[in-house]
Structure 1
Amino acid sequence: METLELINSVMPYVVGAVIAWLVATGRMGYAKGTIQRPDPRRVADVPVPAEAQERARELAKAGKRVAAVKEIRQATGLPLQPALDVVAALRQGIVLPVEPGEARDRPLDP
């Protein structure tokens, strides 16, 4: 019985130490890069309908990032990470193409 109590009292510290080691060595979570930060450069050529761009840009500027991502996903069918990248691009004022193969060098309408 004493051994079981000792194990139960030490176990949270052991688990915490193992998790800290995994994160610190990059074997788990954000440190390894399994979670990516939004990067507008990854979606520079992704076509997004103009109406969806405008609605998502307004939502993102109003602080409603989740709603903006949902808008992009519904309009384009993109997975989560590319939709996050699109919203990041729109927040930075980047105008994405409306049609596949369209030039991206259009000016941003005020």
Structure 2
Amino acid sequence: MLSRADDLEGVALAVSGNYDYKSYFEQVGMSGGTSGVGNMAGGGAESKSLEDMFYQKEMEISKTVFTRQFTHAVIYAWVKLREQEIRNITWIAECIAQQQKERIGNYISVF
């Protein structure tokens, strides 16, 4: 079903059986067949985009792997955590450059 989805609503419908992904789509207002694409831009200080939620989930998985495994996955997790740190630093620098200091705290925590 997911391979045949050609828009975001189709993807939301396809992943509705998975609790994590379903809750992500519900938080951005795209549960099932409803259209909430306007929320995807992340308007307010508390709202997160779907992309931010996926990055947050990736960071949780990477933290777990980094602290509990002793395999090659640790190196992959370390790289992913460093990539997120770079995105966080870029976000903070862009907020300062654009005079939007109230949005500085909207980064995804690494640890």
TM-score normalized by structure 1?
0.24
Computing the radius of gyration from Cα coordinates, the structure with the larger value is 1
- What TM-score results when the alignment is normalised by the length of structure 2? 0.24
Q: Which has the higher contact order (CA 8 A, sep 6+)?
A: 1
